[in-house]
Structure 1
Amino acid sequence: MSVSINPTSLHPQPLSHQGRGEENPNPIRVGVLGFGGLGQAAARVLAPKREMILVAAADQKGYAYAAAGLDPDASIATYQAQGSLGYLESAGTLSSQSIQDLIEQANPVDGYFLALPNLPNTFMASVAQQFIQSGWRGVLVDAMKRTSAVQQMLALSEELQAAGITYMTGCGATPGLLTAAAALAAQSYSEIHSVKITFGVGIANWEAYRATIREDIAHLPGYDVERARGMSDREVEALLDETNGILTLENMEHADDVMLELAGIVERDRVTVGGVVDTRNPKKPLSTNVQVTGRTFEGKISTHTFTLGDETSMAANVCGPAFGYLKAGVALHRRGIYGLFTAAEVMPQFVK
């Protein structure tokens, strides 16, 4: 992590805290890059919020911008029917370089959630570089999984700082929500022995989350990022037929390890992540949890377990934290604090 602090703004105006039912005259203007299953869920999560408004979104073939806010239902319907937000009436623009064009339009956007597939493994870092080179200043949040991908963002830390960008990385469910829970649970102990994250994901149809499922396949024995990226939909379906729709993942390359190590909590080799994904059933195959085992100052060995409710979906557990971290990032950015932060370093702020 590296930060730049503007000493003239150490006493900022706090983010507004409207009471229930009151309108927020200055909501945080949010953009979502990527409009697959996760991006569409993000639009739905933002719809009832008062403190944030979705003003921009982009997919591979186009983008949409509306200063007064994008209609999530119309945006999703247009994308599903025509394959791109570029066809959205009055707000859409077709483009083969949608992210770059959206950034260069200089439309007011306070922060972007990068709901993008990190395939290839260098993709998210390349998107961050586009923002750096454009001169845009604001907050970026990702929900990346792989340790190596987050390490690429760490390498960009000084450039992000110099560009006036506050970047929050690894801010989904895991890494993200569960990493932050582990960081908090660790406070009971004098020494951390292990952090074990186990997740269960249930989705009715893998095609709604194609990129996410391909990223999971990349963690299977005999597969890697490039092989998973190159698989056709038919090949993915054939693999899922072989496993009855179940993906069992063990000892994954998950950035929870490097994030907890950077936060000074535990060495990365004591962090393990694995889980089960059911691509044909919305019910979770097992409960998602994190177990933190350590020794207290009295010499007692104990384990804290934090378990997510089975009723919460993958999308809820990714998008909610992502926007909570985006709000926290905006608060930092308004104080003149720029650079790279992880979900284990900053507490998310609840978005009303």
Structure 2
Amino acid sequence: MNAEQVMDFSNFPQAKRIGVLGFGGLGQAAAKVLAPKKEMILVTVADKKGYAYSPEGLNAKECIATYHSQGSVGYLDIFGTLTNYSIQDLIESGHPVDGYFLALPNLPNDFIASVAQQFIKSGWRGVLVDAIKRTSAVEQLLKMKEELQAAGITYMTGCGATPGLLTAAAALAAQSYSEIHQVEITFGVGIANWEAYRATIREDIAHMPGYSTETARAMTDAEVEALLDRTNGVLTLENMEHADDVMLELAGICPRDRVTVGGVVDTRNPKKPLSTNVKITGRTFEGKISTHTFTLGDETSMAANVCGPAFGYLKAGIGLHQRGIYGIFTAAEIMPQFVR
């Protein structure tokens, strides 16, 4: 087989129709990630004020330009629809979509679960994937397993970077050991301007001492700016409520109290303040104590490490759905499939 044959996409099945809910920094990055793909085509995006749909595929650059210039993809010529109930109206429109990436802020803490309920009630059947962070939010979704199964929905949860990519790496690395003593996830995020990822930064603030999901959600942009001024733009997060713990426990890797997650977010510098990594310490069958470390390249952005895995898990979910396997699965249970 030569290189030309390897890169021949002509024998692939028809591209899957994908939607992105939420069009802030993460949603826009997701659209860019999908743009060159052959196996998936972006047919719809939704933001707070509207949505856009095209069965032939949307142009990511046009969607982003319209969002920035007019505040909503609902203004997109021909394909846009303005509505204050964009997710509900999009679901009820009946437009054929095989899978959605929920690139939504999870403030309040039950928001993603409420969106999943909308899909269940609508009668839509397909695949959903999220990059949710909090343990309590994932636990809400896990309780919906039977509802999702009955609705014919395959739901992939915790499928970003952490939880997600690093959780899966921990699950794989754990195979070297007879017992896992500790899983330590440390992330570094660098962004040039916090306003490009307002929802993500607010979720990070919610993990800080003295803050909650409610207080972070209620903060004005000016209040966020004032907090960042006091910290020189750097957020240091320790012992976060991150769903890596419940996901690894559910997969039988280790009790959740052996999993810790923390990191540093620099909101004024695109360079990572530290390298993102996961360390898995355990005892081998010979009685040796050792640590595996999986480190992400500093050149990979938060968006690359969230959106890439999310679509990889969405592809895996589509494979499950086609086989009639519905319900909810985590990044520690299923291997992602590379989207070409």
Q: What TM-score comes out, normalization by structure 2 length?
A: 0.98
Q: Letter of the aligned partner of 2:36 in structure 1?
A: P
Q: Letter of the aligned partner of 1:215 in structure 2?
A: E
Q: Letter of the aligned partner of 1:222 in structure 2?
A: G
Q: Letter of the aligned partner of 2:203 in structure 1?
A: E
Match of 2:98 in 1: 110
Match of 1:331 in 2: 319
Instruction: Work out whether 1:165 is the aligned partner of 2:153.
Output: yes
Could you tell me the percent identity over the aligned residues? 81
Return the alpha-carbon distance in structure 1 between the equivalents of residues 337 and 252 of structure 2: 22
Match of 1:142 in 2: 130
Deviations 1:289-329 (A, max 9, x none): 00000000000000000000000000000000000000000
Stretches of structure 1 lacking an aligned partner (at least 5 in a row) = 1-17
Match of 1:176 in 2: 164
Return the alpha-carbon distance in structure 2 between the equivalents of residues 172 and 113 of structure 1: 10
Match of 2:7 in 1: 20
Q: Letter of the aligned partner of 1:342 in structure 2?
A: T
Return the alpha-carbon distance in structure 1 between the equivalents of residues 56 and 339 of structure 2: 19
Stretches of structure 2 lacking an aligned partner (at least 5 in a row) = none
State how 1:27-38 maps to structure 2 within 5 Å. 27-38=15-26
Return the alpha-carbon distance in structure 2 between the equivalents of residues 25 and 145 of structure 1: 33
Is the partner of 1:276 in helix, strand or coil? Answer: strand
Deviations 1:248-294 (A, max 9, x none): 00000000000000000000000000000000000000000000000
Instruction: Work out whether 1:96 is the aligned partner of 2:90.
Output: no
Instruction: Work out whether 1:192 is the aligned partner of 2:184.
Output: no
Return the alpha-carbon distance in structure 2 between the equivalents of residues 324 and 108 of structure 1: 21
Return the alpha-carbon distance in structure 2 between the equivalents of residues 153 and 69 of structure 1: 30
Return the alpha-carbon distance in structure 1 between the equivalents of residues 295 and 9 of structure 2: 33
- Give the CA deviation at 1:22: 3.0
Match of 2:306 in 1: 318
Is the partner of 1:54 in helix, strand or coil? Answer: strand
Match of 2:140 in 1: 152
State how 1:274-289 maps to structure 2 within 5 Å. 274-289=262-277
Within the candidate set 51, 68, 71, 1:63 is matched to: 51
Match of 1:218 in 2: 206
Q: Which region of structure 1 is more displaced relative to structure 2, 209-218 or 24-33? A: 24-33
- Give the CA deviation at 1:190: 0.2
Q: Letter of the aligned partner of 1:141 in structure 2?
A: V
Q: What TM-score comes out, normalization by structure 1 length?
A: 0.94
Higher RCO (C-alpha 8 Å, min separation 6): 1
- Give the CA deviation at 1:21: 4.7
Q: Letter of the aligned partner of 1:134 in structure 2?
A: S
Return the alpha-carbon distance in structure 2 between the equivalents of residues 20 and 114 of structure 1: 30
State how 1:280-319 maps to structure 2 within 5 Å. 280-319=268-307
Q: Letter of the aligned partner of 1:52 in structure 2?
A: M
> What is the count of residue pairs matched by the alignment?
335
Return the alpha-carbon distance in structure 2 between the equivalents of residues 323 and 19 of structure 1: 21
Is the partner of 1:248 in helix, strand or coil? Answer: strand
- Give the CA deviation at 1:20: 1.6
Q: Letter of the aligned partner of 1:297 in structure 2?
A: F
Within the candidate set 61, 67, 77, 1:79 is matched to: 67
Return the alpha-carbon distance in structure 2 between the equivalents of residues 19 and 208 of structure 1: 37
Return the alpha-carbon distance in structure 2 between the equivalents of residues 126 and 273 of structure 1: 26
Return the alpha-carbon distance in structure 2 between the equivalents of residues 29 and 348 of structure 1: 18
Instruction: Work out whether 1:269 is the aligned partner of 2:257.
Output: yes
Return the alpha-carbon distance in structure 1 between the equivalents of residues 183 and 34 of structure 2: 32
Is the partner of 1:303 in helix, strand or coil? Answer: strand
